[in-house]
Structure 1
Amino acid sequence: MPSPVIQGNNLHKRFNEHGKDVLDGINLAIPSGTVLGLLGQNGCGKSTLLKCSLGLLRPTRGSVTVLGDDAWDLSAGVKARIGYVPQEAVSYPWMKVRQVIAYTAAFYPTWNHRLVDELCRRWRLPLEERVGPLSVGQLQSLAIVLALGHEPDLLILDEPVASLDPAARREFLRTILEVVESPDRTVLFSTHITSDLERVANRVAILKEGRIAYYGELDELKDRVKRLRIAASHDLPRTFAVPGSLRCEIAGAIATVSVDDFDERLVDDMRSRWNADVSVHDLNLEEIFVEMHTA
């Protein structure tokens, strides 16, 4: 069985000696070909996890390996197989856009000029303008182009569409879908836009207070987290509870319950115990995320 592209082992990261761990014992194994969406509230450790995986931050305890190398000591060969788009894109303000692209391409023998030309055309990057006056969205588009030009085996994206307008976001997602057509290419990206994740990700990792609350297939997550509407024949007691519930709201004889680890037997039990009509409702990824973070 091939080694994971990224392997985190009991990963801890603390910025202040007497502070709280931002990452608190992360164990994560991301296989080749995965498109992993990383979700979590602000401050939960998403960017810290990505930076530890890139060797930009050193773990306080534990370890991360990337494509077989320790992340803190990546070889030149492994670095050449990684593409990265940071949360805040930076470049060379005195250069023209085409000069920045040419400069970056010079480091990669495998640079795909045709792909880069096509991406610049799609995103209407002004090749003859200097980088300094570009808008935040244009800078982010340029950063994505530079990260994709050498067709990396591992693409890491930290809030890649935060500054893109809706048209540019569509083009970005279109590009990601094209990139992941290769079964050996792995993509890890964090975003607050859950609808984007649902379009491209096949796995999800949800961080909560520095720990992984869920890691697995996106479809499996949708199968296990459901919302139940329970309409009983009489008012439900204040002690009413459902096993595995994330949230429960009661209004007389009606209860709305979000459950983790859903099982049809639970529905049968509720119907029998409370002489109730029970309906099951699917949740989208945003709704699941909210339920898991309000539990």
Structure 2
Amino acid sequence: MADSVITINSLKKTFGSRQVLTGVDLDVPAGAMVGLVGTNGSGKSTLIKCLLGLLRKTSGTVNLFGEDSWNLSASAKSRLGYVPQTVRLYPWMKVKHIVAYTSSFYEDWDEEWTATLLDRWELPLEHRIGPLSPGQLQKLALVLALGYRPELLILDEPVASLDPVARRGFLRSLLELCQENEHTILFSTHITSDLERVASHLAILKEGQIALFDELDNVKDQVKRFRIKAASSLPADFTIPGALRCAVDGKQAVAAVTRVDDQLVSELKRQWQADVVVEDLNLEEIFLEYHHV
């Protein structure tokens, strides 16, 4: 397995009496593109800020590149890119000036790659930043984060202000960045269709903890919906090993199961003399099942 770029153990974060993160464990290998999903208020932004050292953790350990995130060295910071959910840049500067200013801090700034992104996203170099639309501002922040091809890129709702065409262009750029498998990306989003296009791994944050972290293909292979029709009425407490939920209605039941195999299906058929239909789920349906929606 590739070396871990992000290592989080038992991370807790409280604000006064309110617990937001209650024990996060996460180990992200180099080269992974991780989609972080959770309901509004689940703590995604708090987790990202603790990861970056922008918020001090209450307890636990958080490491980037093997260093404590609260005390990252200048060398580690130079390998890290970040785009926050709300972008704030100098409003009096022109687009071309903020690009030149930012690039001056990085020895490995890629001028050609930056020019490609600016052109692809149709950013007006001569315009001042202040009057830019939210979508243009977000595109510009992405250019500034991608321009030096960081080893680790962390994005908090990076496409929230982008239209569908711009989102596709952004996702294309992420794929290009990861082509050589040398870059690691963690991005939070609520647009599950985007994750299905580009993510290699999925992390679900629920009740202050990581409820699921696995390769996306494994998740889609394992998490399924069962539709069961038994020969006689099923008990009210009917359940299935590994079920996220199970709804019973007389002889029928619908269940979402996290680990599916032929033996489990055969056992259900034998024990309840039942017909069992196994349905594939898309990523949005998997997310909803984890939250019992």
Give me the TM-score of the superposition, normalised by structure 2.
0.95
Match of residue 169, structure 1, among 151, 167, 170: 167
Task: In structure 2, give the amino acid aligned to 1:156.
Answer: I
Partner of 1:212: 210
Partner of 1:4: 4
CA apart distance, 1:3: 4.3
Partner of 2:30: 32
The 2-side partners of 1:237 and 1:66 are apart by: 49
The 2-side partners of 1:238 and 1:188 are apart by: 41
Partner of 2:148: 150
SS across alignment from 2:19: coil
Task: In structure 2, give the amino acid aligned to 1:81.
Answer: R
1:220-231 map, 5 Å: 220-231=218-229
1:134 aligns with 2:136: no
SS across alignment from 2:194: helix
Partner of 1:42: 40
Query: How many aligned positions are there?
Result: 293
Partner of 2:281: 283
The 2-side partners of 1:227 and 1:42 are apart by: 25
Match of residue 89, structure 2, among 79, 88, 91: 91
The 1-side partners of 2:242 and 2:68 are apart by: 38
CA apart distance, 1:2: 6.2
Unaligned ranges ≥5, structure 2: none
CA apart distance, 1:53: 1.1
CA, structure 1 residues 198+71, in 2 after alignment: closer, same or farther (shift >3 Å)?
Answer: same
SS across alignment from 1:130: coil
Q: Deviations over 1:115-139 (max 9, x none)?
A: 1111111111111111001111110
CA, structure 1 residues 239+60, in 2 after alignment: closer, same or farther (shift >3 Å)?
Answer: closer
Task: In structure 2, give the amino acid aligned to 1:57.
Answer: L
1:37–1:191: 8 Å Cα contact kept in structure 2? yes
SS across alignment from 1:42: coil
Q: CA RMSD in A?
A: 1.5
SS across alignment from 1:146: helix
The 2-side partners of 1:2 and 1:239 are apart by: 43
CA, structure 1 residues 249+178, in 2 after alignment: closer, same or farther (shift >3 Å)?
Answer: same
Task: In structure 2, give the amino acid aligned to 1:230.
Answer: I
The 1-side partners of 2:277 and 2:225 are apart by: 8
Give me the TM-score of the superposition, normalised by structure 1.
0.95
CA apart distance, 1:21: 2.2
Task: In structure 2, give the amino acid aligned to 1:15.
Answer: F
Deviates more, 1:27-36 or 1:146-155: 27-36
CA, structure 1 residues 52+239, in 2 after alignment: closer, same or farther (shift >3 Å)?
Answer: closer
Match of residue 245, structure 1, among 225, 235, 243: 243
Partner of 2:13: 13
SS across alignment from 2:15: coil
Deviates more, 1:257-266 or 1:30-39: 257-266
CA apart distance, 1:250: 3.1
Q: Deviations over 1:74-114 (max 9, x none)?
A: 11111111110100111110011111111101111111111
Unaligned ranges ≥5, structure 1: none
Task: In structure 2, give the amino acid aligned to 1:58.
Answer: R
Identity %: 57
1:3–1:68: 8 Å Cα contact kept in structure 2? no
CA apart distance, 1:269: 1.5
